[in-house]
Structure 1
Amino acid sequence: MNRPVWEHLDPLAFNDGVFYVPAAVELQPRITLWGHPDQPDLREQIANDRPHGISGEKLLCLLCMRYQAQRGLPRAPVWLTFVEGRHGPMFRHEDGRSPHPEHQPETDTHKALKERKARTWESVGGTVEVEVWRPRARRRPDVLAIGPVLTVAGEVQHSKETPRTIRARQRALRKAGDRVVWTTDRGADNIAFLHSVPHLSVPALDDHRMYLSETRLEIGAGAITFETQRCGWADLWTGTTRCPVTRKAMPCGRLHLYPTLNPHSYSRQKAATTAMFPCGPRPHLDHLLEGILHGTWLPYRHRDRVSWIPAGAHTAR
């Protein structure tokens, strides 16, 4: 009797994709034609080759089986089902768990924002790798940039996710770099699930090619600057006029840094004078990405929300 394929399959020898048993090939959904340009009809073939899952035993999750091997667990199959989801085709775990990002084909918008990140970081002196496996993180960041001082993992989040899933990915990605920055094209009123991680929101554009051609992609949420005001000024974050140092209702009379949406405070930043992507009238993506890689912008948590703020204000607070 022949042994099942999964019993002698070594998941460490593959690229954490999906193993299609009937054809004995690995599928990599984020690569053009799933990594098999010589088989343009492969997707249609798999979609029609039912049943999938445990009953079909046709699609194996190599990434889950890699995790098993790395943890020293007994070898066991993890079966997948190919489905056409709301945001495109994906490979779903038979037990209903969310698909791995690696197993979801990327949208044109996702690809464009990923390329924009990589291009920006390369232009400011970063060594950039795209979709490279990071053993410590056990993940493939969309983009990884290695700068003179910092390593930054960049993720693009085009579709909505649960906050729990985002936090889990954030914890893993922190092991891939000193910083993690998430970029989304969802509006500021529709990204609550990203509030707990360092994020940047840019406008949703009608044509994905504009994410590469536009000179500036203004930040709608995720970054904030500060302005100096006398104690007693209304605090944008706390909604009070209490002293930010003593927390008393009585003003102390000193000057403090307050978070602000005043565009002039952004354009006056001293850190921008040597930037390749200098400050404009409003924060924009390239300037923030350059600053994050060079350490002039840092993540700052206030209550349940994380924002990127200038390093000088971070120190002062």
Structure 2
Amino acid sequence: MNRLTATGDYIYTYAYTNDEKALCQMEMRSFFGNDTNEKIIKSRVEIDASRSPFMKERIEVLIEGETLQDIIEQAAEVDMADTTFKVIFLKINGLAEEDYVGYSGKRDVERQIGLAITGEADVHHPGVIFGLMPFAGRWYMGRYTQSEPIWFHHMKKPREYSTALSTRVARAVANIAVPNPMGVKAVDPCCGIGTVLVEALSMGIDIVGRDINPLVVEGSRENIAHFGLTGRVEMGSIAEVEMAYDVAIIDMPYNLYTHATPADQLGILKAAYPMTEKLLVVTIETMDHMIEEAGFVITDRCIAKKGLFLREIVICQKAV
């Protein structure tokens, strides 16, 4: 096979509702350092598309050009040898008008590229899938990967709370807190039923859980084990944590089992200060003054919606 060399660029496509847009954009900023109002983003940062609950697909760019003809000419130099292949023109919502191509046009482009490549096409079980799309006035083709909705399989847990974060929100929260898990140690010291823990552990994030309620500690451990994951969940208050972590995720207690007063909330934030440099807070009410009083500086935020129920997601760093 005449192997193509990756350019180092990746193109990601997204699907989200209007209610999810702000959370998705905050996740983009954590992954890539910037966001977009379009449902496509191009970056040199490599992310497994299955990590995000909003990503649909990823193209690892191998060929790019100003015109489709540029792509066809470069594709003609590819010899797949014994590896079968398939070419797909991505279905994208919200493309700029100049980039839009209709259904029959897409099938025609797929055929042209497929005929240009030397090798055997296999539409059902290809060894390699090439993705193709126009974006921002240029054409791109590369290795195509479709996101697997792993979070979806976590929706049915043995132990659940009606007020727990949805799996989609929990997965995005884990990504925002730990966009690059390499060498990062995280803690969820008010972990509740373990919704964030399950998502984080399933993505290979090194995270431990903790809660003061023995019932939810037991439930969290059961949920983690149910999905074949391995993670530690301890019982005890956040004030008893002695280890240092790179990041802490705190979904502020507010349900029937763990009602926290403002004094309790401030106490939780102050207890987080000595154990972490970075803090992600999930709260149903704005608590900027408490966060600042606890010694943190807010660096990013968004509103996550679940019907009429609103949560604020706030990222903080320890004040210098």
> TM range, normalised to the smaller chain?
under 0.3
Tell me the TM-score normalised to structure 2 length.
0.26
Tell me the TM-score normalised to structure 1 length.
0.26
More strand by proportion, 1 or 2? 2
